[in-house]
Amino acid sequence: MRKTAKLWLGAAALLFTPPVFADGETAVAYDGQDYCITVIGSLPGGDDETRYQFYKLVSDLGADAPEDFRAALSRYGENPPAPDTPLLDVIDIIANPVIRQAAPEITVANMGHLIEFNARCQDAVQGQILSLTTYDSTLFLSDEVIAEDALYLRQILSESLDRLGASDDPVHGAAARAYSRSLVTTRDAVEYAAFESEIDELEAIFMTDLDGRLARSNDIINEEADRSVLDDAVTLAEDMNEDAEEKQKQRDIETLFRILGGR
Amino acid sequence: MSRRLITALLLGSALMSGACATTAKGAKTSSLGNDYAAQTYRSEAPLGTTLAVVRYPAFVDPDARDLYHEAFKNTPIDGALSRKSGMESEALADSVILKSNYFALSLFKELAAKLPEHSVLLSPHTIKKGADGKLYSEPMTQAESLPSVVTVDFAAYTFPDANKMMGKEPLTFGDLITPLVTVKTDPRAAAPTQGVLLASTPLIKHAAGNGKDSSEAVRDALQTGRLTARQSDLDFIAHLNRDTAVTVAQKPLADRSNSDAVRFYPVEKIKLNASALKMLTSKSAQANAAAIDPVSDVFSKPMANQIVGIINRTDADKAAMVGRAAAIAQFDESLAALTLVGSDDPSYLARVRYAERLLEAEKNYLSVQSLRLFDGVHNGEMGAQVRDMLKAEYELLEKRRELARKQNTATALAVLGAIGTGVAIANSGGGGGSDCRNARSQQEYNNCLRRERQRQQRNNQINRIAIDGLIAGTVYAAQTAYGASQLSKSVGTNYLTSVVPALEEQVSVQVNLIDSNETITAIRFEDLKAKLNELYSKNQRALDVAATSCAYAHTGTGKTGSWLGECSGGLAQGSGVGVLENADGTAVEYYGYAANGQPSGPGYMITHTPAGSTAMEGNFTAGRADGVMTVYKGGQAPRTRRYAAGNDAGAASGLAVSTPFNKVAGAMN
């Protein structure tokens, strides 16, 4: 497994415990803010980084899933998890290669569960992300890895739908194909972000290195410059000018003398 | 000798010996105006594009020195050489290089302050002698290898005759500067003016000639399937060479109209900021001298302001498109020609993003070099020496001004003396005596005549003494005036002959700095480029459509041109650039969409004829303008016209124009 594993383990640590509902209730309906508050409130504390990774992963997973696509997920998903199913169990089922191969409809249903959670609780999820990053701006640093994980899961969903024939469905085919295309765009964006991060690093190294080298070189050359050449030139010019002035004065006196003497 | 002749001779000698001297006055404010706070950058250039590159003559190759000195002397601006113009013109020619080196940095600093970080680069040039025996200039750094919205050529000019230093002729010396400037964009962004947007009046025709040459070079390369952005000589060198002169429409600096004409900037001798100069000469300010910029308020800030305004008004996409495509061609030829007009294809969009980021990294890297060049020269020993030289020159100029004032006073005295002598001579004829004809007897008459003769003799004696005194005073004053004039000249000559080794030393320090900076930068730049290319190649996915070379046909000519871009069946099909050159010297450049080898869809067509260049943007059908078009012609504001099958069908103002550049045309103007 790639670096994805690290994040999933982090998410697992957070989500391993099933949500505990008030008064031992287990049934939660998908209805409005109560549902969101209940699910989010049921999650154990964990550290900020793990919580951030979870919310960001859910947010990225829910991208490019308009209503018609979610309808397709309902159509092709089977045995959807109950609303109070721990989210870790949901992710585990999605990532399970055996289920993925043998029962893509279960993978679709479980992804649909996560996507639905994000769609219904988008404000709450974004609010959590915002509040966490307000306190710790370094949390952004794991965005690239989270984006790759989310893309990986979304590709599993798209492949599962394809295997179930959703792309050729006259009703849901367009939504399935649009989702598939959006994955290309997202992959481009994820890859570009990785490229940009590498290029940023390279640029910073080269610019800092160049700046230092040029500063040192400038210092050496400037130290070697001979400032006395100009001083000498100016002194020489001043001497010559003084001499010229003297001669001129002399000429003036001689002229005056000649004029006066000539009377 | 008659009395009148004596008067005339005295007056003439007084005037000749010490004619009124001028005191090398400069304008306190530049015609550029003082509204330098008014313009702020509000445009947007494609990623990886610099906004301005400041080019200037930094060094003369030893093999080109004699030719440069000769050319400099033979192409005086705003004046005629005196018969006695001597060897000092070589020192003046060398000082042009040194001062250009120094003052260009002030303009760079002000532009960098007004434009986004890493968007202004310095491009010092070496002046060399070509195989054809003419001068040419070559960039010493790689600043011009990247696309740019404008290039700014700068030179600090001095008239090549030391005898005219105190006159009205252009001078960069002491507290005076005469800037020569041209601001140009790529000729595609301003076809009717060959890319020239603002220029010092004497340079306009050569700058336009340079633009035309560069445009032709790009077309020639396109014909052979290559994309290159030709780096042109400095316009000052084109002037020294008396290179190709092209006439283009001009308008005054203050003209706010959007007509396609070059804003002309008159040659002006500007006085540097007096308080800054005083601070520079005071011992207490020495530690902080690098922060004092006497040229900033009087020239650099207003000029930077003008340039930012020009950048805001220039279509950055058109200005950068050829330079950007040429830079991209160095690492991705199949993408390069597609970037000229862009595409909505996802594979193109994904790829061009990487290419632009790569150019951006190169630009940022090169900007470090410019900033360090500025630091090394301006804040280093070299800058300190130039400031010392400015002080010395200022003191010398002040001395010469004092001598000029002395000369003028003496001349005035000499003239007054000559006039006074004339009056005395005129009045020396006697008169005022008694009339002896009223005598009542012969004896009385004889006595009267005797007395009258004695009185006249006494008067004559007194007059002679007075006239002699006046003549002596006049001669002395004239002699003093002449002496002051000669002394002033020798003071100038002494300085110019003494300072030659210092000029050479300072230019040599400057060149060492630039060379060393460039060597270090280039080694690391190659390394950076290799790493960037590796990163780029590793991350690319295939383009759905790649650019190749094929045939381009232009309506009305039997000849086939070249197309670089999308092709199908050997003919232009899709986006790209087409060029066609006819035997009669006319040529066509077309940027946009084509079908079956001909312009079809949104496009931008530039037509070059011996009379000038014009452009047209809008929709084309089967090679002909068809629909609402924007027409660009020299001396006119862009006009919106309706065309049908290539024929002008009347005005169409207010209607939207199709453009290949993914935006509504006309918005930039």
Q: pLDDT tens, B287-339? A: 677 788 889 889 999 999 999 999 999 999 999 999 999 999 989 988 998 99
d(CA B240, CA B378): 27
Residue A5: predicted pLDDT:
42
Do B166 and B283 form a contact (C-beta atoms < 8 A)? no
Chain A, 222 to 251: residues with Cβ < 8 Å from chain B are 222-223, 225-227, 229-234, 236-237, 240-241, 244-245, 248, 251
Is A108 in the same domain as A30? yes
Question: Percent of chain B, pLDDT > 90?
Answer: 46
Greatest mean pLDDT among B179-193, B226-240, B253-267, B335-349 lies in B179-193
Burial B510-538 (b: 16+ CB within 10 A, else e): bbbbbbbbbebbeebbeebbebbeebbee
What the block records as the tokens of B589 is 């450049």
Q: For a pLDDT cut of 70, what percent of chain A falls above it?
A: 84
Mutant choice from A184, A207, A223 vs B, greatest count of B C-beta within 10 A? A207
Between B605 and B2, the higher pLDDT residue: B605
Q: Do A180 and A260 lie in a common domain? A: no
Residue from the list A202, A237, A256 with its beta carbon closest to the beta carbon of B499: A237
- Tally: H helices and E strands in chain B: 13, 19
Residue B149 has pLDDT above 90, yes or no: yes
Grouping H, G, I as helix, E, B as strand and the rest as coil, residue B417 is: helix
The dihedral region occupied by B646, where left means phi > 0, alpha psi between -120 and 50, and beta the remainder, is left
Instruction: Say what the pLDDT of residue A20 is.
Output: 37
Interchain proximity A221–B512, CB inside 8 Å? yes
Helix count and strand count (H, E) for chain A: 11, 0
Res B443: pLDDT: 82
User: Which range has the worst mean pLDDT, A73-87, B237-251, B324-338, B600-614?
Assistant: A73-87
The count of domains in chain A is 2
How confident is the model at residue A163, as a pLDDT? 93
Are residue A30 and residue A119 in the same domain, yes or no?
A: yes
- Predicted confidence at residue A66, as pLDDT, reads 93
Residues A9 and A136 in one domain: yes
Report CB contact under 8 Å: A255, B369. Answer: no
Residue B9: the pLDDT is 55
Query: Are A259 and B354 inside 8 Å of each other by CB?
Result: no
Kindly give, in sequence order, each residue whose CB lies less than 8 Å from that of residue B150, ignoring residues fewer than 6 positions away.
Answer: B51, B52, B53, B183, B184, B185, B197, B307, B310, B311, B314, B319
What's the ipTM? 0.75
Chain A from 70 to 89: CB within 8 A of any B CB: none
Rg (CA), chain B: 34
User: Mean pLDDT, to the nearest integer, of B603-621?
Assistant: 94
Residues B58, B370: contact at Cβ < 8 Å? Answer: no
CB contact under 8 A, A241 and B494: yes
Q: Give the model confidence (pLDDT) of B180-204 as tens digits.
A: 999 999 999 999 999 999 999 999 9
CA distances from B12 to A244, A255, B487, B508, B556 (A): 27, 19, 21, 50, 73
In a domain, residue A9? The reply is yes
A:165-224 residues touching chain B, CB 8 A cutoff: 184-185, 188, 191-192, 194-196, 198-199, 202-203, 206-207, 209-211, 213-215, 217-218, 221-223
Predicted confidence band at B417 (pLDDT cuts at 50, 70, 90)? low
- Is the residue at A141 inside a domain? yes
Kindly report which listed range (A40-44, B226-230, B442-446, B551-555) carries the lowest average pLDDT score: A40-44
Spatial CA neighbour of B159 closest among B175, B174, B170, B173: B170
> What is the pLDDT at residue B23?
64
> Which of B397, B490, B508, B518 to mutate to test binding with chain A, by most A CBs within 10 Å of its CB?
B490
Q: Does the pLDDT of residue B19 top 70, yes or no? A: no
The pLDDT value given to residue B134: 95
Residue A206 forms part of a structural domain: no
* B10 vs B637 pLDDT, higher one: B637
Mean pLDDT, to the nearest integer, of B194-215?
95
**Domain boundary, last residue among A197, A215, A247:** A197
Average pLDDT, chain B: 85
Q: For residue B433, name the pLDDT band (cuts at 50, 70, 90).
A: low
Q: Give the one of A194, A218, A255 whose C-beta lies nearest to B375's C-beta.
A: A218
Question: A156-214 pLDDT, tens per residue?
Answer: 999 999 999 999 999 999 999 999 999 988 988 888 888 999 999 999 999 999 999 99
Whether chain B has a CB inside 8 Å of the CB on A258: the answer is no
Tell whether A89 is covered by a domain. Answer: yes
* pLDDT at site A23: 37
Using the beta-carbon criterion (under 8 Å), do B509 and A221 form an inter-chain contact? yes
Q: Are A124 and A24 in the same domain?
A: yes
Beta-strand pair B262-265/B196-200: parallel
Shortest alpha-carbon distance between residue B426 and chain A (Å): 22
A187 and A260 fall within a common domain: no
In this predicted structure, the answer to whether residue B284 has a pLDDT above a threshold of 70 is no
| Higher local confidence (pLDDT), B6 or B649 | B649
B544 Cβ under 8 Å from any chain A Cβ: no
Residue B47 contacts A, CB cutoff 8 Å = no
* CA angle in degrees (0–180, nearest 5) for B218-B54-B263: 80
B395 CA: distance to closest CA in chain A (Å): 11
Contact (CB<8Å) B509/A222: yes
The number of C-alpha atoms within 13 Å of B610 and in the hemisphere containing its C-beta is 4
Contact A198 B517 (CB under 8 A): no
Residue B439 pLDDT > 80? no
DSSP single-letter state for residue B230: P
SS (H, E, C) B544-592: CCCCEEEEEECCCCCCEEEEEEEEECCEEEEEEEEEEECCCCCEEEEEE
Tell me whether residues A199 and B358 touch, CB distance under 8 A: yes
Whether A203 is covered by a domain: the verdict is: no
* Claim to verify: residue A237 and residue A188 sit in the same structural domain: no
Question: Each residue of A92-142: pLDDT tens digit?
Answer: 888 888 998 899 999 999 999 989 989 988 888 899 899 999 988 888 888
- Inter-chain touch B535–A202, beta carbons under 8 Å: yes
More confident residue, B637 or B387: B637
In the predicted structure, residue B24 carries a pLDDT above the cut 70? no
Res. B40 pLDDT band, cuts 50 70 90: confident
pLDDT computed for residue B34 by the predictor: 60
Mutation site for B-interface testing, chosen from A241, A243, A245, A249 by largest number of B Cβ within 10 Å: A241
Gap from A28 CA to chain B (nearest CA, Å): 43
Candidate from A70-74, A110-114, B273-277 with smallest mean pLDDT: B273-277
Do A148 and A22 lie in one domain? The reply is yes
Lowest mean pLDDT segment, chosen from B150-164, B312-326, B499-513: B499-513
pTM value > 0.90:
no
Q: Residue B278's pLDDT is what?
A: 78
The number of residues in chain A equals 263
Question: In the prediction, which pLDDT does A16 show?
Answer: 39
Higher pLDDT, B55 or B17: B55
pLDDT computed for residue B665 by the predictor: 37
pLDDT at A32: 65
Tell me what the mean pLDDT of segment B613-619 comes to.
Answer: 96
Cβ separation of A230 and B487 shorter than 8 Å?
Answer: no
Q: Which of A197, A215, A248 is the last residue of a domain?
A: A197
Name the least confident of B43-57, B177-191, B490-504, B571-585.
B490-504
In a domain, A107, yes or no: yes
Distances (CA, A) of A19 to A65, A126, B562: 26, 20, 70
Asked if residue A238 and residue A186 are part of one domain, the reply reads no
Domain that holds residue A138: 4-197
* Res B414: pLDDT: 66
Greater pLDDT, B658 or B406:
B658
Q: What is the pLDDT of residue A211?
A: 92
Same structural domain, A155 and A63 = yes
Tell me the shortest Cα–Cα distance from B361 to chain A, in angstroms: 6
Boundary residue ending a domain (A181, A197, A213): A197
Both A178 and A238 in one domain: the answer is no
Per-residue confidence (pLDDT) for residue A30, from 0 to 100 = 54
Q: For residue A231, with 0-12 CB atoms within 10 Å meaning exposed, 13-18 middle and 19 or more buried, which class applies?
A: middle
Measure the CA–CA gap between B146 and A55, rounded to whole angstroms.
Answer: 43
pLDDT of residue B5: 55
User: Does a structural domain hold residue A209?
Assistant: no
CA distance, residue B211 to nearest chain A CA (Å): 33
Q: Is A205 a domain residue?
A: no
Domain co-membership, A171 together with A256: no
pLDDT reading at B143 higher than 70: yes
